[in-house]
Amino acid sequence: MLDAITALSRGTRLVYRPGLRRYVFFPILVNLLVYAVMLTLVVNRFNGWLAYWMSLVPSWLGWLDWLIWPLFVVSLLVVIFFTFTLVTHLIAAPFYGFLAAEVERRATQHEPLDDRGLGKTAIDAVGRELVKLGYILPRAAGLFVLSWIPGVNVLAPLLWALFSAWVMAITYLDYPMDNNKVSFADMRKRLASRWWPTLSYGGLIVIITWVPLANLFLIPGAVAGSVLMWDAYYRSPPYRIGNARDVNRASSD
């Protein structure tokens, strides 16, 4: 049974082998540049952002400063995390798509179903990233609002953790699925049908994304690992709930 850690480990070893490294260097450079810009922006603007948002807190809630301040910091870090992730993947998406296709050929002996040309593949990869943005951003905004509602915000850290894992699973597992002509809607169904592999792999990617500098070199491995996860869990359509034969088959995988 392939688990998230094994998939990431094997994927990372794969992408730095001869023949695959050429798909890795440009995404690493993009991530490094975006990382530097984001870090500089946060360091220079953090105090100003904090002062502005704290000024919006009504005076009668002043006694909650001890709670509001850490909530703001956590929310800001989450926003930065999503911004960093979305920007880097929007730029590097075509390269990650090519990397996923080549890993699939070498590691699974399956040929991706995608028969698009090079130029159309690059354009469609960016379009697919925009579809992801359209799905992720409204939900992230809604969760951000919930994080500020008294009582409900107690659950905010758990909800953000689950949502982040789901987003990372969508972001990375979509590369091999897009290469195999799986629609975005069908992709979400497949991920939901195998929720534990989905959230465990997405959660692992969240963790490595937060590791400074090391994440730049692990992210391409996560793309390759997603191909291994795709082949192990998601290549077949979702199982129908209530169908005993399919449930038994899922349990034996």
Q: Compute the distance between CA of residue 238 and CA of residue 10 in angstroms, rounded to an integer.
A: 25
pLDDT of residue 11: 93
pLDDT of residue 20: 83
**Where along the chain do its domains lie?**
4-252
Higher-confidence residue: 241 or 218?
218
**Count of residues for the chain?**
253
Q: Which residue has the tokens 């082949």?
A: 231
Predicted TM-score (pTM) of this structure:
0.74
Which of 68, 78, 241 minimizes the C-alpha distance to 165?
78
pLDDT of residue 56: 66
- Say if CB 135 and CB 184 are below 8 A apart: yes
Averaged pLDDT, 90-114: 84
pLDDT tens, 180-233? 989 999 999 999 999 999 999 999 998 988 776 777 788 889 999 999 999 999
- The contacts of residue 61 (CB under 8 Å, 6+ apart) are 68
Which of 195, 171, 191 minimizes the C-alpha distance to 235?
191
In 10 A of CB 149, how many CB atoms?
A: 11
Question: Picking from 87-101, 154-168, 217-231, which range would have the lowest pLDDT averaged per residue?
Answer: 87-101
Q: Can you read off the two tokens belonging to residue 107?
A: 């590691």
